[in-house]
Structure formats: C-alpha cells, structure tokens
Amino acid sequence: MTTSSVGSLREQLRVVSANRAFRNLVCTWIIQALATGAMLAGVDYVARWVLEDDGAATVLFVCFVGPALLVTPLWQRFAERRDKRQGYVVASLVFAVGAVTTWWASNVGMAATALTLAVVGVGYAGIQLFPMAMLPDVAADDATASGENRIGTFTGVWTAGETLGLALGPFLYAAVLALGGYAPSTGGGATQTGQAITAVALGFTVMPAVLVVVSLLFLRRYR
C-alpha cells in the first residue's frame, strides 16, 4: 500500500469528493460545526437579553461543554454495543431536542435554561465523539479499495471543514440578529425590541436545532 501525498486543496477536494462515505460524513460534520459556532456565539446575548443576567454566560457555557466529561464514556459504550452511525444519529437528536427545549426554558428562567442546555451538552459530547471515530473507518475502507493510504488528505479536508463551520457560525447568528432588528451597541446603552430579543433566543436554540436535523440528511446517506 502506498501513501498518497496530495498537494493543493483543490486536488484534495477532488480526491475526497469521490468517496461517498466521506463526502456525506464531512458534510454532516461541517453543518453541525456551523450549528455549534452559532450557539457559542449566542451565549453572551442570551445571558444579557433573555435571562437578563450577564453572569449567566459562564454558567451556560459550562452547561454546554461540561457534560462531555461525564457522558463521553457512555457514548463510547453505546458505540461498542451498537453502532457508531446509530450513536451519531441519537446524539444529534439529543442535541436538537435539547436546543429546542431551551427555547421554552429561556422564558422560564436560569435554572430551567441550564438544565436543558446540559441536555444539549450531552448531545454535543456525542456529535464530537462519533464522527471522529467514524473518520478512521472511512479512511481504512478507502485504503482497502484504492490501495493508497490517504488519511492525510481526509484529515486535512476534515479540519478545514470544521474550521469553516465554526468560523461561519457567528456570522449566521449575526444574520439572525440583524433580521430581528437587533441594535448593536459597544457602550451597552442600547435597548432591544421584543422582536430582537426573540431573534437572540431563536438563533441560540431553534436555528442550531434545525441545522443539526438537516445535517442528518447527509448522515442518512453515509453508507
């Protein structure tokens, strides 16, 4: 088996686009990175305008990323006993359901929002674990079929896709705020309409949930 060294990004994209499994997996990954980036961008806005507590941002962030420390081993067991792809679907749905529920919880109060966001965090742990575990499988299958080890090419495109999704997430969130009529202010003196505050919450909850569900259309065609 030879090791393929592909130079330009265009050539890398040509190589990996021919692999159906990778193509669908990386599209799922990029869309979910977009959802994650948008959600992370909205933490401060939700804390300030929806929960009306600037200090809540730290709590929300911890609730989002903290559960990974506890549930990642459980997701690993799920993969061992069942299937990585099935686990990826389940984790994505947990993320989406948690995000939509956070839309309701944000109108109830801080405690309810933290609880539902922790559910999002449980799903987030899974959508980080499973695709990273599936990528080597795709590369191994490709190496068997092509006779070339192209893991470097797959990894390069994968990393570029993740970076793109995370970078565009805040821009997408900003677009939702703009559509809602959000009034930016560097001095903190701006007031927001009810429509703008609704956009703050929607961009943080419903929009990421929709993106994750849409991403499953690609994951469905993974094999």
Give the span between the Cα atoms of 142 and 133, in whole angstroms: 15
Answer yes or no: are the C-beta atoms of 16 and 22 closer than 8 Å.
yes
pLDDT confidence tier of residue 52, bands split at 50, 70 and 90: very high
Q: What is the pLDDT of residues 127-167, one digit of tens each?
A: 999 999 999 999 999 888 888 888 888 998 899 999 999 99
pLDDT for 106: 92
Give the span between the Cα atoms of 161 and 170, in whole angstroms: 15
Q: What is the pLDDT of residues 168-194, one digit of tens each?
A: 999 999 999 999 999 987 655 678 999
In sequence order, which residues have a C-beta less than 8 Å from that of residue 211 and are 6 or more positions away? 31, 32, 34, 35, 38
Quick check: 15 pLDDT over 80? no
pLDDT cut 70: percent of the chain above it: 93
Q: What is the pLDDT of residues 83-113, one digit of tens each?
A: 999 999 999 999 999 999 999 999 899 999 9
Quick check: 62 pLDDT over 60? yes
Answer yes or no: are the C-beta atoms of 115 and 166 closer than 8 Å.
no
pTM for the structure as a whole: 0.91
pLDDT for 218: 94
